[in-house]
Amino acid sequence: MPTKSLLELARWKKDHELTMLLSLLKKDVAPWQRTFADIHLHKLDWARLLHLADHHRVVPLIYLQLKKSNHPAIPAPLLGSLQAQYHRNTLRMLHLQAEAARLTRLLMDHGIRVFILKGPALAQQLYGDVSLRTSKDIDLLITPDDMDEAEHWIREAGYESKSGEARVLGSWKWKDHHTSFLHPQKRVEVELHWRLHPDAGGEPSFDELWDRRQFSESGVSRRVQSAPADSMAATAASACTLGGEHQFLYLSAHGARHGWFRLRWLVDIDRLAVCAVDWEALLLTLRRYGGLPAGGQAWKLAAALLGTPIPEPMRPISETRQAHRLALSALAFMQASVPAPYPVASGPGTNGTAASELSQSIALTQPVETAPSDGGAPVGGAAAGDAFGEAALHAASDATGTAKDASSVTGNKVNTAVSSITRSMAGAATVASSSAVAGATATAVTPQPISRAYLLSLKEPRHRLLYLISRLFPSTGDPILLPLPRKLHFLYIPLRPFLWLKRRFSKH
């Protein structure tokens, strides 16, 4: 199926601000120059464009592109606001980079191997400049066997645990994937991972990741073949990141799990597409660890929205019906996560079959009754027969903001920036629109949980079975509901159904 059908089904081409945003995110200059010519810039809702850039966490890229264009129709207050956010983000990323380096040196000095996931290291690896990407925390990956010692040294570095959850039996090693810490003075959050993904999915072992790791040092990312285990001191001087193949495996699964509601994650895929990656090896890795559904979805979305060239070995997985269906599901969720100028997906599609397919995709993104505290997939589910338009509007009204990244790295609330822009703009329509955006931002709430049906559709059959089996084992949230002595932790297995029911009904 042609990738352009995705945008036709989603009716994104009628959203001028989103069209402009996507054009500015492309590496090639020609697309956004054509967009400037096609769209009447004086009628563009610049306040909403700013809101979209902040929501998708792509302010640095948008600012540099608009500054480069030097178009007279771009409001000066808009550029001033974007410039201020860009500078604040640069300082924030440099601070996170320095703190990540401090923590990795601390851990590796005590013999603990550690990766830096996402954040400044990924910005350096994919963009060549930490200022071009945003991040709110530091993600570190270690082996499960090093967790106790790593937690000790993280606390010694001044961090306090945010979760307070107890690890029960041994199921936490393969069922959960991270725990969080916060430095009360520096206000820096660290997520300490022992797995790449939650929910007992397939993934490479830590040793396999380590053998294919890359060093990100002084703006240069280079691959390191298997090194002796005693070379920790030399390794500690650089940031260890995932190799190209494993980076795609991780980024595609992470974005898919969150419905790609941040375009920043898709831009990462776009930038990775031009890196030195062994695509044939990546295809084998995706097949081995069940990453074909998420990988195909990532390429489909990147090609449709950002014009990303799909490497030849990756084309077969991006052209399947499953990839097309999953991409439509993500588009529906992405649309529902921010205010739209039109009702989301209202009206007919390009044809009867296509409209029906989009309706089914939106149904996959409908909210579920509750999301368990143990980090698993949401439980419950929305009625499958919900009306098409009602379902979309319900999603749009309840998902106008996001709490996960609400503490934006820019440190500047969008409504403040919007107000400063609209004061310098003429026209009641623009003022009214910006007021709506400011109100939506001020009352931001947690986004719609992605449905269990969607999450399961990302898994291959064998991993769906593993996921269902994992639900029978204790989680780190069970001791909070029912504290038991360590010697009685085995009782959490037969008590699991009752604890699940207690957790579910306590939220109602």
- Tens of each residue's pLDDT in the chain, 508 residues: 445 566 665 566 677 888 889 989 987 766 556 666 666 677 788 899 999 999 999 999 999 999 988 888 888 999 999 999 999 999 999 999 999 999 999 999 999 999 999 999 999 999 999 999 999 999 999 998 999 899 999 999 999 988 755 565 555 565 677 888 999 999 999 999 999 988 766 789 999 999 999 987 644 445 544 444 444 444 444 679 999 999 999 999 999 999 999 999 999 999 999 998 999 999 999 999 999 999 999 999 999 999 999 999 999 999 999 999 999 999 888 887 765 554 444 344 333 434 455 445 444 544 443 333 333 333 233 333 333 232 332 333 333 333 333 333 334 444 444 444 444 443 333 333 333 333 333 334 345 566 778 888 888 877 777 777 676 677 766 777 777 777 776 676 777 777 777 777 776 5
The predicted structure's pLDDT at residue 136: 92
Tokens 């993904």 belong to residue: 197
Question: Do 255 and 222 touch, CB atoms closer than 8 A?
Answer: no
Q: What b/e string do you get for 252-282 counting C-beta neighbours within 10 Å, with b at 16 or more? A: bbbbbbbbbbbbbbbbbbbbbbeeebebeeb
Element (H, E) at 125: helix 119-127
Nearest by Cα to 4 from 270, 482, 324, 400: 324
Count each helix (H run) and each strand (E run) in the chain, helices first.
Answer: 25, 8
Nearest by Cα to 167 from 192, 188, 187, 138: 192
Sign of CA dihedral 387, 390, 393, 395: negative
Tokens 């604890």 belong to residue: 499
Cα(425)–Cα(2) distance, rounded to whole angstroms? Answer: 40
Question: Do 330 and 300 touch, CB atoms closer than 8 A?
Answer: no
Class of residue 40 by CB neighbours under 10 A (exposed 0-12, middle 13-18, buried 19+): exposed
Cα(26)–Cα(46) distance, rounded to whole angstroms? Answer: 19
In the chain, the amino acid numbered 438 is A
How many C-alpha atoms does 346 have within 13 Å on its Cβ side?
12
Contacts of 327 (CB under 8 A, 6+ apart): 6, 297, 300, 301, 304
Cα(212)–Cα(232) distance, rounded to whole angstroms? Answer: 16
What is the Rg, in whole angstroms, of the alpha carbon atoms belonging to the chain? 23
Which segments of 290-406 does DSSP mark as H helices, in order? 292-306, 315-318, 321-336, 352-364, 388-398
- The two beta strands, 138-141 and 220-223, are unpaired
In the chain, the amino acid numbered 224 is V
Question: Do 112 and 164 touch, CB atoms closer than 8 A?
Answer: no
The shares of helix, strand and coil residues in the chain, as percent rounded to the nearest 5, are 55, 5, 35
Q: What b/e string do you get for 370-384 counting C-beta neighbours within 10 Å, with b at 16 or more? A: bbbbbbbbbbeebee
Tokens of 315: 């084309």
Cα(120)–Cα(190) distance, rounded to whole angstroms? Answer: 13
Tokens 């280079």 belong to residue: 222
Cα(395)–Cα(331) distance, rounded to whole angstroms? Answer: 13
The predicted structure's pLDDT at residue 439: 38
pTM above 0.85, yes or no: no
DSSP structure class, residue 169: T
